[in-house]
Amino acid sequence: MLIEFYPWIKAFHIISVIAWMAGMFYLPRLYVYHTEQVEQGSATDQMFQTMEVRLIKVIMNPAMISTWVFGILLVSIPGVIDWSMIWPWFKLLSVIGLTAMHGWLGARRKDFVSGENTRTGRTYRMMNEVPTVLMFIIVISVIVRPF
């Protein structure tokens, strides 16, 4: 039954991933500027907090959820995934890692709200690379299937 909707499910999965990744690339960069250039309690601090919460709640959370929903729908279509191969497991672990990174970014937003951010701009710059590395693993796993 789901096979009839395969192209639609796949399309919405890809759209969701693009939206999620956009947020995953942008939010750590906002944190860099928030940490390095904004005085706590200032109007600019409030503006950054507004931008960060809207990015996470309006774009990233729905995109992450829809990525998972459409991904689960895709893998539940018989014949789409051969779980005896290694690549789907690499992809799954990488998506779980991306989800954990999403959670870490959400926790850091709460640190800014409470005025308890202890991380440096350098930390956020380094963490900004994690989604990129995971994206490489995911895309290569699915497209190239090297293992």
Distance CA 117, CA 54 (A): 19
Where along the chain do its domains lie?
A: 2-143
> So what's the pLDDT on residue 147?
84
Q: What is the pLDDT of residues 68-120, one digit of tens each?
A: 999 999 999 999 999 999 999 999 999 999 999 999 999 999 999 999 999 99
Q: Which residue is associated with the tokens 């870490």?
A: 104
**What per-residue confidence (pLDDT) applies to 1?**
84
Within 8 A by CB and 6+ apart from 102, the residues are 20, 24, 60, 64
For the stretch 47-60, pLDDT in tens is 999 999 999 999 99
Average model confidence (pLDDT) for the chain? 96
